[in-house]
Amino acid sequence: MSVPALEPIELGFAEQVDNPVFLTSPYFPSKIGGHPAWLNPQHLPSTESAAADGLACPLCTKPMAFLLQLYTPVDDSPACFHRSVYVFCCRNGGCHKTASATGAHCFKVLRCQLPRENPYFGVDANDNVELDSSVQGQRRVALSAPTCAVCGNLGPKKCGQCGRARYCSREHQVAHWGAGHKQACSNASGNVAPTAKEVALRFPEFELVTEPEEVRPGDDGDEDDEAAEKRRMQEFEAAVKDFKLDVQTEEEGKDVDDLFDGSDTVQEEDECFEAFQKRVARDSEQVLRYQKGGKPLWISDVAQCAPGAVPRCLNCGTQRVFEFQIMPQLLWILGVDNLDGNSLDWGTLLVYTCPNDCNPQEASATTPAQPATEPASFASVAATNAKPVPVTSSAYLPEFLYSQQVSEKGSIDLQQRERRAPQPDARPEATNASP
Ligand SMILES: [Zn+2]
Ligand SMILES: [Zn+2]
Ligand SMILES: [Zn+2]
Ligand SMILES: [Zn+2]
């Protein structure tokens, strides 16, 4: 793996913001819900394509909804002076149900990056913040692609009456009309605050703040088999010494493992799920875990994704690495009703990205133009690893998301567990640091 020494795990938490302007592009936010804060406001992904670089759901073809984004600049990479990773999903729970049965995929991860000098944001942070007065801000607005009033994705269509409101799709135009544009359309200034009904068309908006997870001994519970075996032998020998057991035990058929609780004997429970719950309980409101190049915290020992099965970067062909995972707590935050069998649901969502942070144009010069395709079926991924195909028609590169469901054993547990809504002010020590 071409990843340097690991940074500590950062946990992400949802926080209310008083002023939503802090969640817009010039502030380079990490955020949940609302509109995406596009890092490159000019070359946005298509909402009409279900290819790897498009934001149409491959099943229902509707534009996917913005779920969250992380601002993750890379210190030693001039091309990634700014870097954001975006996650989108179809809001139709039925699509996700069909997806898990058929191997289709109703999530999308896109990566975007900019050097320090770019057409959109000033070199100085202050240049960006004085949005309306600065030349920089006017330039950025002039270069920006129109975005949908409802979802904030690319909005090539516009309201036929006022010509101001833009939409990604007819569906969002109709929704917006019913949510208040009917009245606002004739308002000459066009500056109308969104109605509550309009806001409800998007996922609820939060800032995503991060803080390092407190490290405890044994947290890296991922020893390889050899190390685990060695450790068990050492424990065994220590136990023998302590309790003056006879190593040459006469009990026939007794394996070393059988003398210990917690050895690798087959058990009824999903041990992985128990470990997951235990680890998460320490910071029970975490909605995200970030560790680029690290290892994910699996929610179940069923249906884990082997590192070699993660598809390679479509742009440069490098093996993608784990970057972050979205936790089931986010469903609570978003107000997704888990009792509705047809709602959005996941165990944990694992996001894998290109460790090179390659730029879109690098590959497009050498590869023929054809639509980018992310393998629809996870099982078919290995076969397509060999030759990267191009890639994107926007400034946003597709990355890979793996959705791990809770095993049946775990899910019984999860249903029994009390699902608690987050308390915005419960954590006093949150910081605004990017992961
Ligand atoms: Zn869909
Ligand atoms: Zn839209
Ligand atoms: Zn209108
Ligand atoms: Zn790459």
Contact present, 135 and 127 (Cβ < 8 Å) = no
Query: Residue 4: what pLDDT?
Result: 59
> Which ligand neighbours the alpha carbon of 63 most closely?
2
Share of the chain above pLDDT 70, in %: 68
Report how far ligand 4's centroid is from the alpha carbon of 391 (Å).
Answer: 10
Tokens of 83: 């870097």
Report how far ligand 1's centroid is from the alpha carbon of 140 (Å).
Answer: 32
Lowest-confidence region among 28-32, 218-222, 316-320, 331-335: 218-222
pLDDT over 90 at 412, yes or no: no
Report how far ligand 3's centroid is from the alpha carbon of 69 (Å).
Answer: 29
Cα–Cα dist 377/53, whole Å: 16
Report how far ligand 1's centroid is from the alpha carbon of 60 (Å).
Answer: 4
Residue 315: exposed, middle, or buried by beta-carbon count in 10 A (0-12, 13-18, 19+)? buried
Report how far ligand 2's centroid is from the alpha carbon of 54 (Å).
Answer: 13
* Average pLDDT estimate for 137-159: 88
Indicate yes or no: pTM above 0.85: no
Report how far ligand 4's centroid is from the alpha carbon of 152 (Å).
Answer: 26
More confident residue, 232 or 319: 319
Model confidence pLDDT, tens digit, residues 260-319: 444 444 445 788 899 999 999 999 999 999 999 999 999 998 888 887 889 999 999 999
Model confidence pLDDT, tens digit, residues 85-122: 999 999 988 898 888 777 678 999 999 999 999 988 88
* Residue of 168, 158, 142 lying closest to 64 (CA atoms): 168
Report how far ligand 3's centroid is from the alpha carbon of 185 (Å).
Answer: 4
Report how far ligand 2's centroid is from the alpha carbon of 167 (Å).
Answer: 5
pLDDT over 60 at 347, yes or no: yes
* Amino acid of residue 246: D
Report how far ligand 4's centroid is from the alpha carbon of 312 (Å).
Answer: 8
Segments making up each domain of the chain, as ranges:
10-213+283-416, 216-272
Report how far ligand 1's centroid is from the alpha carbon of 345 (Å).
Answer: 13
Lowest-confidence region among 148-157, 223-232, 302-311: 223-232
Report how far ligand 3's centroid is from the alpha carbon of 177 (Å).
Answer: 8
Query: Residue 160: what pLDDT?
Result: 95
Report how far ligand 1's centroid is from the alpha carbon of 57 (Å).
Answer: 5
Report how far ligand 3's centroid is from the alpha carbon of 282 (Å).
Answer: 49
